[in-house]
Amino acid sequence: MKSHYRAVVIGGGVVGTSVLYHLARFGWKDVLLIERSVLTAGSSWHAAGGVHALNADPNIAALQAYTIDLLPKIEQESGQSIGFHMTGGMTLAGTPDRWEWLQSAYRTFQSIGVEDCRLITAEEAGELCPIMSTEGILGAMWADREGYVDTTGTVHAYAGAAKKHGAEIVENNRVLELNQTADGWEVVTEKGTIQTEHVVNAAGLWAKQVGRMAGVELPVSPLNHHYLISDSIPELEGLEREVPMTVDLEGFTYMRQDQKGILLGIYEADHEHWMMDGAPWEYGFELQQEDTDRIEKELIMGFERYPALQNVGVKTWVNGAFTFSPDGNPLVGPVQGKPGYWCACAVMAGFLQGGGVGKSLAEWMIYGEPEADVFGMDVSRYGDFAQNKRFIKETTGQFYSRRFIMTYPNEQLPAGRPLKMAPAYSDMTAAGCRWGVSYGLEVPLYFAPEGFEEVPSLRRSNAFDFVAEECRAVRENVGLLDISGFSRFEVSGQGARAWLDHVMASKLPAPGRARLAPMLSEDGKLKGDLTVFNWGDGTWWIMGSYYLRDWHKRWFADHMMADVEVRDLSDAVVGFSLSGPNATKVLERVTDGPVALPFMGCAEMDVGLIRAKVGRLSVTGELGYEIHCSAAEHIGLRRQLLEAGADLGLREIGFNALLSLRLEKSFGIWSAEFTQGYTAAETGMDRWIDWSKPAFVGREAALAEKDGAGPVRRIVTLEVEAEGADASGYEPVWSGGRKVGFVTSGGFGHWLGKSYAMALIDADLSDEGTALSVHIVGVERGATVIAPSPYDPAGKAMRA
């Protein structure tokens, strides 16, 4: 072990060894992995080792597919057997709702490029797995690329391949301290002190402690997980092939063959946390005592699904801990405010996702950005609110217990809620507001009468009519929406204009004006669809998505310039928007004289008793204003606006109505039409780029796309022949039986009375009038490319 390395990876499990391997393979030879015990000691050695390519997030699915392709390669590179068994696998459905969900999921997987899956009957499932009872099974989804590996062999294969690329590994050497230095980090270990530019926390069950060493509180917790390995089963002795990996969604179990017995794993409803502050340092190859009473219900269902278990004994019980994040996805990437400190934690499915995590993190460290859009596992998707121990316990427990429970698009889960609430939350709740959540903040979805209960569904919600009424109010009169759920950053200082001009691809607004502003990465991909306000007094605002706050703060910090201050106002400044033909009338009743703001104008003005910042803009397509106030003034602002609009048809609305209204305008949103995986030209955001600027982040890449052949995919608006259900996202789009794209978002346009979707499709099919089709809840529906903005295409209403 030397005294200086370019990067030090802490943790010798499957994730740490994968990160080490990829760093070395991509060119960083001066890298070290430190393991407090020996490789695999922790969770890796007792993991079930299952792998499959299916995941509802297309980017994570792609990383899982990468891992599956990588595994044979590291076996060959290292010379270490990984015991790879590609058995194929199936997911069972035992209720009509589940079967409908599985049919819908099958089409989603087609959208994201998983081509090796198909729907099968219960009879086919029984033939593929002859030891399984098909009682109660309505159907299943088969996938070719499922199987399992030898977990210990796989870790040693990653490690061996890493060493062949020049990396070093030191075992039995616990990290004692991490100290930030001017040049990186000082890593104090039992065997000496190391200076390094980069530290990677891949510590698994010890991720919490290794985070705290750097002053980082990670939202992770271990939970215990059971599986059993049976004695030999006679029915398996004569089979020529292994039975497939099988997930019984209604039974909360997964199964794979293990020699001539089977491994049966359980995600029980009665979950159990373990050592929430991190495992003891001396822990490694121990397990917890099995608790059959706690898993009795699921165990019985498993023995009924595989009756042969009732005739053989249990050879081995495993009750060991794995580390989970609140949503079950990994925590990967750089930590804002801690230069050179990287996370590769909470990779619950390490043997499935470890290869992709290692690749993405190594690219991030070496090249500045990962190739894939990895926001779904970016550590920045959680903020300070997620450091609370009760929040972590509730949310990780909820994820674990719901591992095999379907979640509907309109379903709201209760764990860790309510946490953050805008001041008018209680008054709005009393008025019938139903709430969703964004980055820990309660956000309004719609308003309904007392006693109404929304039924989770893949089809149109029973709240459909309430949302329709809110849309009608906006189009005919005026709607009032709580806009606390947006981020607001104040930019000031002598260098403010120069910095904004550098990080934003658009022209900057003149004093008293606002402008839509795409923000790009160096490779021309989107980093934000933002709105910049120039208040005319030397201060500027950047408004964006509330849940991207930490993600954007990290980006701002990475591109900071001298004499600039960026303050996050997102929780201190809140507000409401007015949208509709009567919006100006309402506002003028609480202001001193006529409101003369031009479209996209902004100014400070008196609104009732409040000195507010007001911008004239709206994503509903109607005349609209965004009114911003301090949190202390939120309740008062709402009351004054409700009173002023009482006889003008003013109605409170939620974001479900906003979805419908913005689809009728073909207005895209982040995480759907706009992501860091798409370019400005693909999404149409290039129309806001100021090509005359000599320099801005991403200019060269964006210009190369503009001057080249153009994007091969484009965002379009589709009118869909839907019936009872609408597209929501990732449904495949077809042309003559050929997959040509996928839906980015969709819903019902209540004012126009039609079902719409926005989709990313092949550019040569983006012309108006092109006939296509879309699968919605598993059923193919006709769709037609239409001109953007089916409602008021000239934009006269919002400019009135």
Instruction: Give the pTM.
Output: 0.96
Could you give the angle at the alpha carbon of 450 between the alpha carbons of 448 and 454, nearest 5°? 55
- The pLDDT tens digits for 271-302 are 999 999 999 999 999 999 999 999 999 999 99
The pLDDT of residue 699 is above 80: yes
Mean pLDDT of 472-488: 98
Residues in CB range of 7: below 8 A, 6 or more apart: 23, 28, 30, 31, 32, 196, 197, 198, 199, 200, 365
Residues in CB range of 58: below 8 A, 6 or more apart: 111, 112, 113, 730
Contact yes or no for 323/201 (Cβ under 8 A) = no
Stretch (H or E) spanning 371: none
Contact yes or no for 125/92 (Cβ under 8 A) = yes
- The pLDDT tens digits for 331-346 are 999 999 999 999 999 9
Reported as a pLDDT band with limits 50, 70 and 90, residue 489 is very high
What domains, with CATH codes, occur in the chain? 4-83+150-219+327-379 (3.50.50.60), 89-146+222-319 (3.30.9.10), 486-650 (3.30.1360.120)
- The pLDDT tens digits for 23-48 are 999 999 999 999 999 999 999 999 99
The pLDDT of residue 56 is above 80: no
- The pLDDT tens digits for 370-386 are 999 999 999 999 999 99
- The pLDDT tens digits for 522-581 are 999 999 999 999 999 999 999 999 999 999 999 999 999 999 999 999 999 999 999 999
Alpha helices in 538-598 (DSSP H): 549-558, 583-589
Q: What does each C-alpha distance from 173 to 216, 299, 467, 493, 506 come to in angstroms?
A: 22, 40, 60, 48, 51
The amino acid sitting at 256 is: R
Distance CA 684, CA 673 (A): 10
Residues in CB range of 585: below 8 A, 6 or more apart: 478, 645, 648
Reported as a pLDDT band with limits 50, 70 and 90, residue 406 is confident
Distance CA 420, CA 441 (A): 4
The pLDDT of residue 497 is above 80: yes
End-to-end CA distance of the chain: 71
- The pLDDT tens digits for 101-118 are 999 989 988 888 888 899
- The pLDDT tens digits for 760-775 are 999 999 999 999 999 9
The pLDDT of residue 54 is above 90: no
CA 214 from centre of chain: 25
- The pLDDT tens digits for 746-759 are 999 999 999 999 99
pLDDT over 90, % of the chain: 95
The pLDDT of residue 612 is above 80: yes
Res 593: pLDDT:
85
Mean pLDDT, rounded, of the chain: 96
